[in-house]
Chain A
Amino acid sequence: GAVVSQHPSWVICKSGTSVKIECRSLDFQATTMFWYRQFPKQSLMLMATSNEGSKATYEQGVEKDKFLINHASLTLSTLTVTSAHPEDSSFYICSALNSGGYNEQFFGPGTRLTVL
Chain B
Amino acid sequence: GENVGLHLPTLSVQEGDNSIINCAYSNSASDYFIWYKQESGKGPQFIIDIRSNMDKRQGQRVTVLLNKTVKHLSLQIAATQPGDSAVYFCAERAGQNFVFGPGTRLSVLP
Residues on A lying within 8 angstroms of B by beta carbon are 1, 4, 6, 32, 34, 39-44, 46, 49, 87, 91, 93, 95, 97, 102-110, 112
Contact = CB atoms under 8 A, between A and B. Distances in A.
B98 A43 contact: no
A110 B40 CA distance: 11
Nearest to B103: A43
Interface of B: 1, 3, 5-8, 32, 34, 36, 41-46, 49, 89, 91, 93, 96-103
Interface centre among A91, A97, A105, A106 (most CB of B within 10 A): A105
Contacts, number: 64
A105 B97 CA distance: 10
A49 B7 contact: no
B6 A44 contact: no
Given A103-B32, A105-B34, A107-B36, A43 B100 contact: yes
A4 B49 CA distance: 18
B96 A44 contact: no
A105 B89 CA distance: 13
A32 B3 CA distance: 29
A103 B94 CA distance: 12
Nearest to B51: A102
Contacts of B46: 1, 104-107
A17 B52 CA distance: 45
B41 A44 contact: no
Contact of A43 (B32, B43, B93, B102): B102
